[in-house]
């Protein structure tokens, strides 16, 4: 089944990336935002992690996934996410804790321009699996070109 999922996802591109506005429950005591799998985001949640204390000028990510879907949320502060489908690029500026950037498989991502105190939460559809990563941009471009030939 994983092979079939990879074939389907190979055909995704930047038009499938989007900001998802998460539910925001306002209260005088403070706001609350929730994320529910298959309700607010289009996948089951298997892993959550966060980036923080990122030094000024540092870049994170610099990879693509073969199967994993992801939602990135600026829990605090702000940062930029540049997405690349092998044909074109687009940039998103995340700075609201109730907005998440949905990234389907086969999209290269770079994260930079972290503000002081920024926290990036990543919600992932898969457990960690090193074989799911394209860590070299040239390998990613070769996979995209091969998918284009199918």
Q: HSE, CB side, 13 Å, CA atoms: give it for residue 136.
A: 4
Q: Is the CB of residue 101 less than 8 Å from the CB of residue 132?
A: no
Q: pLDDT tens digit string along 12-68?
A: 789 999 999 999 999 999 999 999 999 999 999 999 999 999 998 999 999 999 999
Sign of the torsion angle spanned by Cα atoms 34, 118, 59, 86: positive
pLDDT at 42: 95
User: Among 16, 50, 59, 63, which one carries the catalytic annotation?
Assistant: 63
pLDDT at 1: 42
Please count the other Cβ atoms lying within 10 Å of the Cβ belonging to residue 131: 6
16 in active site: no
- Which residues are CB-neighbours of 110 under 8 A, at least 6 positions away? 59, 60, 61, 62, 81, 82, 84
Please count the other Cβ atoms lying within 10 Å of the Cβ belonging to residue 28: 5
Q: pLDDT tens digit string along 58-89?
A: 999 999 999 999 999 999 999 999 999 999 99
pLDDT at 147: 87
Phi, psi (deg, nearest 5) at residue 54: -75, 125
Residue bearing the bigger pLDDT, 110 or 9: 110
* Structural domains for the chain: 2-149 (2.60.120.10)
pTM surpassing 0.75?
yes
């Amino acid at each position: 089944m994983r092979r079939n999922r990879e074939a389907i996802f190979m055909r995704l591109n930047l038009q499938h990336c989007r900001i998802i506005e998460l539910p925001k429950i306002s209260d005088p005591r403070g706001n609350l935002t929730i994320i529910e799998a298959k309700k607010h985001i289009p996948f089951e949640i298997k892993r959550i992690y966060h980036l923080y204390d990122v030094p000024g000028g540092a870049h994170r990510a610099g990879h693509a996934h073969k199967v994993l879907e992801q939602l990135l949320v600026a829990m605090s502060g702000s940062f930029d996410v540049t997405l690349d489908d092998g044909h074109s690029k687009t940039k998103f500026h995340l700075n609201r804790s109730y907005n998440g950037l949905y990234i389907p498989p086969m999209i290269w991502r770079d994260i930079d321009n972290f503000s002081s105190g920024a926290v990036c939460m990543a919600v992932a559809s898969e457990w960690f699996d090193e074989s799911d990563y394209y860590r070299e941009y040239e390998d990613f471009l070769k996979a995209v070109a091969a998918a284009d030939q199918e």
